[in-house]
Chains A and B, each alone.
Chain A
Amino acid sequence: MTIQAAPREAAAASNDTDLAIVAHNLVKTYPGGVRALNGLSLAVATGTIFALLGPNGAGKSTTVKILTTLSRPDSGSARVAGFDVVARPSSVRRAIGYVSQKAAVDPEATGRENLSLQGRIYGLRGRELRRRVDELLERIGLAEAADRVAGTYSGGMQRKLDILMGLIHRPKVLFLDEPTTGLDPEARAELWAEIERLAREERLTILLTTHYLEEADRLAARVAIVDQGRVVVEGSPEELKGELRGDTIRVELADGATEPRVQAVLEHLPGVRDVTLQDGAVYARANSGGQAIPVVLAALERAGIPVAAATVARPSLDDVYLRYVGRSFDAAGEKGTER
C-alpha cells in the first residue's frame, strides 16, 4: 500500500531521474487574495499517466499553468523533464506539449496549416515536417479533413487537432488540461482510446486534469485528488478505492417498509457497517458485497420487510472523493470558477 496522504516526501526525493514532473510546495495567490495553490506537491513517474482530479476552482489549471511555464508560482519549486520551470523555462518549453482547456486552434487556418506552424516553431522543416504532419493526421483520423479550415470542424475534431498540435514535436511530457470537457459521451470515449494509444506509442508522460471521476479512473495510473489548492490524497485508482475497504450495498425498499426499522435490522449483522438512509434506499458497506447480500436479504425477510431491489457496487472514485474532501464531488463542483 503506497497511499500518501501527504505526497511531500515523494516530492522531496526529487532528484530521481525516473520522475518526469516534480512539484514541491507550490503556492500561487491571484490579485484580490484568491489563493489558487496552497502548498501543492506532486511527483509523476516517467512514462505514466497521472491525473489531477478535482472540481472547478481546486487549483488544477493553475498547477498546469505553472508546470508549463505559462505562469509563475509565488513560492515553491517545480521541475519538468529535469528542468526547473522558473530558472530554465526555455528548456522546459522544448520538452513539453500543452493542450489547454480550450481547443486552441486557429479557426481560420486548415488543420494541416495549424499543425505545420506548430511544427515550424519547434524547428521542424521541409520533408521531415510534412511527414510528421501526415503521420499524425492519419493516425487520429483527420487526414480527410486536413485541408478544411478548422473553424468548420466539430468539437471532437478540433480537440483531436488540438492534441496533435501538442504532440507534433514529440514532447517528453504532455499536459492535458480537461481534455474531454464539453464533448459528448461518444466523442469522449473515442478520445480516451486515442489518448491511451498515443501515450503508449509516443512513450509519453502525461499529466491530465479532469473533473470526471471516470476519466481519471479509466486513464490514469495514479490519481491525486486536489482540493483548495493542495493534494488531499494520492494513489492508484485501485489503491484509493481499496482504502474504502469494501463494497457498497444498496437496498431499495418496497412500499410500506419503514426505513428506521431496516437500519436497525442491518446494523446488527456481522460484516455490515456504515448504514445510511437516502431517498428511500438503504446504503451500507461490506468487506465483500457478494457474501453479504444473501445475509442481508435473509435478515430483511425474517423481519418481514419487503425489498424492491438490491445491488452491490465496487467503490468509485466518487466515494473516495467524498471520504477525503468531506463533501460529494457534484456538490463541490457547484462552487467557484476554474483559474
Chain B
Amino acid sequence: MTALIHTLDIAGRHLRNFSRQPWYIAFSLVQPIIYLLLFGALFKRVVELPGFNTGSYATYLTPGIVAMSALFSGGWLGVTVVSDLDRGVLDRFLVSPVSRSALITGLLIQTGLVTVIQSLILIGLGVLVGARFAGGVAQVVVLVAAAVLLTAIFGALSCAVALIVRKEESIIGVVQFLLLPLTFLSSVFMAPALMPGWIRQVSRFNPLNWAVEIGRSAPEAASLDWSLVLTRGAGLVALAVVATWLATRAFGAYQRSI
C-alpha cells in the first residue's frame, strides 16, 4: 500500500516537471516524424513488392514508427536517473523510507503517459499521409498499449544500466549500440517475407517486433488477430515485469558500490 502511494507521489513529481516543459515532446518526435514522412515518402512504392499485404506503405510503416518511438523514449530514461544521481536527489530518496520499486514505477508511469501522447500524435500524422487502421479503435488501442509496454521494458533496463554504470555516456551507448540495431532487426521498415532469413529469425525474439506485430494485427481485415495480440502482449508484460524487477535490484548494486 505504501509502495503504491509512493509510486503515485514519484509519478506526480515527474509529471509535474514534464508539464513545465511540454515542448520536450516536440523534440522527441523530430526523428520519428522524419522517418514517418520522408522515409515513408522515399520508399512509398516498396509495397508493390509481394509480401507487404497492403497497398499503402504509410499503413505498413505507422505502427512501426510508433513502436520505434516508444523504444527510444524508454531507452533515454536512464538519463533522468543519472541526473538525479549527480544531484544527490537519489541518495536522499535512498536514505528515506520511500519504496525502491516506486522510484522506478513512478518514473515509468510518467514516461508511459508521454508515450501515449507521442503515439497518438504519430498515429494522427500517419493517417494524414494515408495510413489506415482497418481494425479501428481497437487496433489503435492495442498499438498504444504495446508501445507503452515497450517503453516500460526499455525504460526500466535503461534505469538499471544508469544505476550500475552511472554515466550519461553509457546511456547514449546503450541507445546507439542496442536500440538502433534492434530497430533494423525487426519488421518496422520491411516485410518479414522480404528480409534475409537470419534477420527474420532474430526478429522473432525482438520485443520491438512483438509490439509492431500487435500494431499491425489487422492489416486488411476488420477484426484483430486476438491470439497474436494476446501472445505477443503477454510476452511484453512479462518482460516489463522482469525489467522493473531488475531495475529495483540495481539500487542494491549501486548502494554496494558506494
Contacts and interface: CB of A to CB of B under 8 A. Distances in A.
Contacts of A109: 13, 16-17
A113 B89 CA distance: 14
Given A109-B17, A118-B96, A121-B9, A71 B89 contact: no
Contacts of A165: 92
B57 to A, nearest CB: 40
Interface stretch (B70-78, B125-133, B250-258): B250-258
Interface in A204-244: none
B255 A113 contact: no
A159 to B, nearest CB: 12
A188 interface: no
Given A96-B95, A121-B98, A122-B97, A105 B89 contact: yes
Interface residues of A, number: 30
Nearest to A70: B95
B88 interface: yes
A104 B258 contact: no
Nearest to A106: B89
A106 B17 CA distance: 9
B166 interface: no
Interface string B59-103: 000000000000000000000000000111101111111100000
Contacts of B255: 70-72
Nearest to B6: A121
A104 B13 contact: no
Interface string A53-94: 000000000000100111110000000000000000010011
Nearest to A120: B9
Given A31-B257, A72-B255, A90-B97, A98 B92 contact: yes
B153 to A, nearest CB: 26
A45 interface: no
Given A93-B95, A121-B6, A71 B258 contact: yes
A60 to B, nearest CB: 14
Contact of B97 (A101, A107, A121): A121
A121 B13 CA distance: 12
A108 B96 contact: no
B13 A117 contact: yes
A149 interface: yes
Interface residues of B, number: 25
Contacts of A103: 87-88
A100 interface: yes
B17 A100 contact: no
Contact of B96 (A71, A106, A122, A149): A122
B13 A106 contact: yes
Interface string B214-258: 000000000000000000000000000000000000000001111
A197 interface: no
Given A108-B20, A117-B9, A100 B92 contact: yes
A335 interface: no
Contacts of B96: 93, 98, 118, 121-122
A104 B88 CA distance: 5
A70 B91 contact: yes
Q: From B5, B17, B95, name the one whose CB has the most chain A CB atoms within 10 angstroms.
A: B95
A98 B95 contact: yes
B17 A104 contact: no
B256 A104 contact: no
A110 B186 CA distance: 43
A102 interface: yes
Nearest to A91: B97
A71 B252 CA distance: 10
A108 B17 contact: yes
A104 B91 contact: yes
Given A71-B255, A90-B97, A100 B91 contact: yes
Contacts of B6: 121
Nearest to B96: A121
Contact of A72 (B89, B95, B256): B256
A93 B94 CA distance: 9
A68 B97 CA distance: 12
Contacts of A105: 87, 89
Contact of B258 (A65, A96, A120): A65
Contacts of B87: 102-107
Nearest to B258: A71
Nearest to B5: A120
Nearest to A107: B87
Nearest to B21: A108
A120 B91 CA distance: 17
Given A109-B16, A120-B9, A121-B9, A104 B92 contact: yes
Which 5 pairs, one residue from A and one from B, show the smallest C-beta to C-beta distance? A104-B88, A102-B88, A108-B17, A68-B95, A100-B88
Given A109-B16, A121-B96, 11 more contacts: A31-B257, A69-B95, A71-B258, A98-B92, A102-B87, A105-B87, A106-B13, A109-B13, A113-B13, A117-B12, A121-B93
11 contacts: A71-B255, A102-B88, A104-B87, A104-B88, A104-B89, A109-B16, A118-B92, A121-B96, A121-B97, A122-B96, A149-B20
Interface of A: 31, 65, 68-72, 90, 93-94, 96, 98, 100-109, 113, 117-118, 120-122, 149, 165
